[in-house]
Amino acid sequence: MNLSKQPVRGTQLDSIAEDQVGDYLLAHPEFFERHPGVLARLRLPHQRGSAAVSLVERQVLVLRDKHGALEQKLHELIENGRANDAIADRMHRLTRRLLRARDLESTLIGLETSLREEFGASRWLVLLTDTSLPGLTGHQNPHVRVVARGSAELKVFETFFESGRPRSGQIRDAQRDYLFGNDAGPVGSTVLVPLGDRASLGLLAIASNDTERYLPTMSTDFLVRIGEIVTEAITARAA
């Protein structure tokens, strides 16, 4: 098909398939250079109104829209990068605090400082289900509770222990009351972090008064890393 010849009129135009026209123009991008008059006469409906615009103007509009979409995507990537950098900094400070700890008590103090100052925690609790750690015998700390894994009182966490994955957002009333009590003020949002492989050591519960602090849509990758760091620290200091 040679579109450089005289324009096809009447029924002949209808016989040319649209995809053939498109394929030809894609295969011969120089067509409009050889026929600038055709390009000048082409008019297309304006996307934002009823007025017609030239093909060049339409291309400019398309490119402008693509540019805006790319700018928005770039902005989102930059913001995500900044958020990830901030989380990495908090994780680094938490790790340093726990490395400086010499015993279980100083480990818990360092953990409390990081959770409160770096991660916006209003309340927190380490629920340990591995009672074999020798350093836990007779240990007294309001942020630590030691309960054997098979205990009936842990039935409310059965699905959590089965999945062994972090959870964030709202938790069941029975879980909230068990972890933080029902007389310590409202709990806006909560994070449950497994400790140990498939929560074999227990869990770390973090609560905030802010309902928007820990959302169900938040990334759990850094929560997994917090669980790994806290597990190693507690295991090493309670041995």
Checking if the pLDDT of 220 tops 70, the result is yes
Q: What angle do CA 62, 68, 69 make, to 5 degrees?
A: 90
Quick one: average pLDDT of 186-209? Answer: 93
- 140 CB neighbour count, 10 Å cutoff: 6
pLDDT at 76: 79
DSSP string, 175-213: HHHHHH-SSS----EEEEEEESGGGSSEEEEEEES-TTT
Per the CATH hierarchy, to which homologous superfamily does domain 101-237 belong? GAF domain (3.30.450.40)
Ranges of H-type helices in the chain: 11-14, 18-27, 31-34, 36-41, 55-100, 104-117, 158-163, 173-180, 221-237
Q: In a 10 Å sphere around its CB, with 0-12 CB exposed, 13-18 middle and 19+ buried, how is residue 22 labelled?
A: exposed
Mean pLDDT of all residues in the chain?
A: 82
Give the pLDDT band (50/70/90) at residue 5: very low
pLDDT digits (tens, 9 = 90+) for 116-132: 999 889 999 999 998 88
Q: List every span in the chain annotated with CATH 3.30.450.40.
A: 101-237
Checking if the pLDDT of 171 tops 80, the result is yes
pLDDT at 52: 53
Give the span between the Cα atoms of 157 and 125, in whole angstroms. 14
pLDDT digits (tens, 9 = 90+) for 52-78: 555 666 667 667 778 788 888 887 788
